[in-house]
Amino acid sequence: MRLLCICLFALCPILSHAQEARKVSCRFVCFEGAVPPPPLINVFDKGIEVTCTVPAHTFSEPLVCYAKTNVITFVSSDNRATVATANIPEHVKAAILVFVPAAKAADPVQWRIFVIEDTIKNFPDGGAFVANFYKQDIRFILGEKNIILKSGTDHGFARPEKRDAFNMAPVIFQFQQNDAWRTTSETLLRFVPGMRYLIFAYIDTASGRPRISTFQDFMPVAVPPPSKLTVPPIKPTPTPTKPTSPPARLTNPATKPAIPPAAPQ
């Protein structure tokens, strides 16, 4: 019994370590206007490292990263210094990580990461996900919807029901400036299955003006698993039958007719 207790006590750190490791399917994108960081490394523990590339203007392919106590840590591939951390809620299994430059160059961590749960409910197919990084409220029209979004909040919206013959719908954004609303963006966007929009409202640090940034995300087409694919049965090709020859008729020499005698010359 004592030996069993010692073995269980020795296994506790291993079991605890295994419970802390959590896999999260991640896709990366760099915020518009920023220069993407060089390839980063997601470190979890010795021997567990994942190289991650953060593209600009598009989303990366899904990559499995490791979270420890709900935090994914990224370090530089040069000096191994911590570059960014992402807080992943415990229920999130797939996420989009948006890399935003730190507010000040002197910040110890160079990048902030905006985490979006990548599910159909939160980020609908054919719809849009809007995040308000502006210091005040924004309001916008998305198809037939009129929405006010508070500062520092975000929300996913389903595909607009009212669209024209080309699946286009109006998208208009207004920023609150003191007591007035200023139109910043007015356009038509095409809403189709298999594509969705990620839209940010923020202040452009270069000009100091409100701005809208829009990313297109093309979702992969779902392919049913092989077990559900129905293949029509292959019909066997009939083997051609050779025509049967009539049985050979045997002649008995005894019954063979006699040859008539030759006529006299």
Dihedral angle over CA of 141, 143, 149, 151, nearest 10 = -70
Please indicate, yes or no, whether residues 113 and 133 belong to a single structural domain of this protein.
no
Please indicate, yes or no, whether residues 66 and 42 belong to a single structural domain of this protein.
yes
Please indicate, yes or no, whether residues 59 and 144 belong to a single structural domain of this protein.
no
Q: Is residue 231 part of a domain?
A: no
Q: Is residue 234 part of a domain?
A: no
Instruction: Say which amino acid occupies 142.
Output: L
Quote the number of domains for the chain.
2
Please indicate, yes or no, whether residues 128 and 204 belong to a single structural domain of this protein.
yes
Q: Taking Cα atoms as reference points, which of 187, 162, 163, 184 lies closest to residue 175?
A: 184
Convert the pLDDT of each residue in 25-44 to its tens digit.
Answer: 999 999 988 889 999 999 88
Please indicate, yes or no, whether residues 162 and 83 belong to a single structural domain of this protein.
no
Please indicate, yes or no, whether residues 140 and 192 belong to a single structural domain of this protein.
yes
Please indicate, yes or no, whether residues 131 and 208 belong to a single structural domain of this protein.
yes
Q: Taking Cα atoms as reference points, which of 29, 38, 205 lies closest to residue 105?
A: 205
Instruction: Say which amino acid occupies 257.
Output: P
Q: Is residue 167 part of a domain?
A: yes
pTM greater than the 0.85 cutoff: no
Q: Is residue 152 part of a domain?
A: yes
What sign results for the dihedral spanned by CA atoms 239, 242, 244, 250?
negative
Q: Is residue 39 part of a domain?
A: yes
pLDDT at position 20 = 67
Q: Is residue 168 part of a domain?
A: yes
Question: Which CATH number fits the domain that encloses residue 105?
Answer: 2.60.40
Cβ(59)–Cβ(29) below 8 Å: yes
Convert the pLDDT of each residue in 118-163 to its tens digit.
Answer: 999 999 999 999 999 999 999 999 999 999 999 999 999 999 999 9
Q: Is residue 225 part of a domain?
A: no
Please indicate, yes or no, whether residues 115 and 139 belong to a single structural domain of this protein.
no
Boundary (domain end) residue, out of 119, 152, 182: 119
Q: Is residue 250 part of a domain?
A: no
Q: What is the extent of the structural domain holding 86? A: 21-119
Report which DSSP code applies to 241.
P
- Structure tokens of 249? 């008729």
140 vs 256, which has greater pLDDT?
140
Please indicate, yes or no, whether residues 56 and 74 belong to a single structural domain of this protein.
yes
Please indicate, yes or no, whether residues 107 and 133 belong to a single structural domain of this protein.
no
Instruction: Provide the pLDDT confidence category of residue 103 given band limits of 50, 70 and 90.
Output: confident
